[in-house]
Amino acid sequence: MVMKRNGYLISLLLIVLIGGPVQAGAQPPRIKDIFPEGTVMEKNLSYANDSNKKHLLDIYLPPGKKVRRPLIVWIHGGAWMLNDKYADMGYMKNTVRGFIDSGFAVASIDYRYSTEAIFPAQIQDCNQALAYLDQHAEDYKFDRDRIALIGFSAGGHLASLLALSNNNAVKDFFPAGKQTHFKIKCVLDFYGPSDFIMLASIPDTSISNERNPVSILLGATPLSRPDLAKKASPVTYIDRNDPPFLIVQGEKDESVPNTQSKILSSWLTVSGVKNELIVVPNAPHYGDMFDVAEIRSRLFRFLDFYLK
């Protein structure tokens, strides 16, 4: 998700996160090679029981004995209009391997692009995918009481929105307005935008441009439809009953200003929600600077505390 004047062009370049576009139904060898040997892979499962190729998810299970495992749900980035369920794994490979080596199951989900369907289609898809995983927990030996979300950029926005609105009964966020109940224990938010109204107030941004990714997502500019911007902003739904957050942001992120993560952390704090904020010195919007040992150590300590 990109905000600078040339943001739309930069957002199109986000596809380099996975080394180029991936055909639906194919699993890139470079993604497969990230996972430890013996990882059980269930690919391209339809979570909506339809033929839409964006309504698919993959499941990755640690090798060995089938026991009830905590589940990490991976939500990819790409300005809500690019990439797929393999995105972000390429530069986060040590973290991905760490999930499996630590005994976590991983499910990576696709969702409809904003160029196909505007908001709230994306959060509807995320909720439907979570409902599918919850309903099939017994099949894959997921522990329903130990589910975490991880999201990157646009995926960080969706992960945060999914978790924070989960106890608010927002009917529009569910297909056919029918809410499904499931438990989210914690959230790992990597540089996801949290407040579209605040973004619109930042000088020298293109968020008021109709071709900006946020405007494409909403179907209108945030300033022309502040009601939609507020509805799509994770901070709108914060209350004391929300799950804990680990928020990671680059200090020099030119796509999502680090103030977005800071305001999310501040609202969580004043609302009594446990959270940690890591601002990575000199880090840009994405890259292997987020997969270093220090961040992984804090991430897995956070998961060990809240999921185990």
Which domains does the chain carry? 7-18+34-307 (3.40.50.1820)
Please tell me the predicted confidence (pLDDT) of residue 13.
Answer: 34
Which residues on neighbouring strands pair with residue 75, listed in sequence order? 109, 151
Q: Say which residues have a Cβ less than 8 Å from residue 287's Cβ, sequence separation at least 6.
A: 91
| Cis bond before residue 120 (omega within 30° of 0) | yes
Pick from 169, 95, 97, 163: which is nearest to 130 by CA? 163
20, HSE (Cβ side, Cα atoms, 13 Å): 6
Residue identified by tokens 């369907």 is: 117
Q: Is the dihedral of CA 295, 11, 268, 165 positive or negative?
A: negative
Q: Rounded to an integer, what distance in angstroms lies between the CA atom of residue 217 and that of residue 198?
A: 16
Is the backbone of residue 245 left (phi > 0), alpha (psi -120 to 50) or beta?
A: beta
Contact 187, 148 (CB under 8 A): yes
Taking CB atoms within 8 Å and a gap of at least 24, the contacts of 52-56 are 52/112, 53/24, 53/25, 53/110, 54/110, 54/111, 54/112, 54/113, 54/116, 54/125, 55/110, 55/112, 55/125, 55/128, 56/24, 56/85, 56/109, 56/110
pTM, full prediction: 0.91
Q: How many helices (H) and strands (E) would you count in the chain?
A: 11, 8
**Beta-sheet strand order (sheet of 105-109):** 40-46, 56-61, 105-109, 69-75, 142-152, 186-190, 245-250, 275-280
Tokens of 158: 């969706």
Please tell me the predicted confidence (pLDDT) of residue 8.
Answer: 36
Q: What is the pLDDT along the chain (308 residues), one digit of tens a residue?
A: 544 433 433 333 333 333 333 334 456 666 778 999 999 999 999 999 999 999 999 999 999 888 899 999 999 999 999 999 999 999 999 999 999 999 999 999 999 999 999 999 999 999 999 999 999 999 999 999 999 999 999 999 999 999 999 999 899 999 988 888 899 999 999 999 999 999 987 765 556 677 899 999 999 999 999 999 999 999 999 999 999 999 999 999 999 999 999 999 999 999 999 999 999 999 999 999 999 999 999 999 999 999 97
DSSP 8-state symbol, 101: H
Q: At what angle do helices 93-101 and 293-307 cross, to 10 degrees?
A: 30
Q: Rounded to an integer, what distance in angstroms lies between the CA atom of residue 190 and that of residue 296?
A: 12
